[in-house]
Structure 1
């Protein structure tokens, strides 16, 4: 196994074990440290992919060659974003700012929407890459076309999430007004009342 891959996996696995042990023995600081290690391992893998343009977390130097180049760099950026978010969460928990931050992001979800949108769009773009070199009608019908469609849907959804996040950040009042109107229009509670009204009397 490659040394860098070993360090990445070690950080993630040790972090998960530390989090589980901290929960078991009620050691909050240990949980924060474990979460920090998990984020560090993920971010380290992302940094490796961005710098080398090779897939991280691979056990051998030859693995993941089909995704070398732009796909690996995209994977690295996604891993960096996720790792940074996990590290930031560990810091906020350790500093006692977690609940305050969550409450703020509940009121102003723009950054979360934009971040999740970037990850979703990146995942969709990765699905659209196909460098395996395999050809054939059945492979195209059963693998490539479905992957491309799903990837395209994810890219569009992710970019929409980014756009909504930016909109919420720069114009929260207008965003809240439109979002509240959409929620009232597609209120799930109204659907629940409709469902019970249609079928409740027959049970």
Structure 2
């Protein structure tokens, strides 16, 4: 855990240093929601592998996910390149059954909390319409609890945005198609400070 905190401080320190180099830093605050995320894919794959490893004696049903709740901050200068960080939270639950006698074993619950520094390139950058692409890489802290067992893991987190669109002035709406922790479809609001 100590290593994770040190790594997080390094990531945030790097971002703060990059922002401090601008003469008049301006920021954009982001609040969004994403669907079809990497944690959803990973949990589905994990369920298939767990069922296979147990010889089919355990099965998972009724998996539900909150979707990705995204909070972010980015530089909002006049240039085409924007630096930032997204904090992404997602929770899930699923029911666990013994396949041989159909006995309900309990609920498995978990969460992912990810910190993803990102860089975006605005290839169309007008006052009310912006089109961009971006990439981010960071760290995700995952936890899962089933009965009296709790597992904690740290994963590489990423997000690749082939195309994003932002419409508006100081208050704008945005939409992104992406692959990663923010979701295949990510929509929300941005506000320039």
Q: Same fold (TM over 0.5)?
A: no
TM-score (norm 1): 0.25
Determine which structure has the larger helix proportion and give its number: 1
Q: Report which of the two structures shows the higher radius of gyration computed on alpha carbons.
A: 1
Determine which structure has the larger strand proportion and give its number: 2
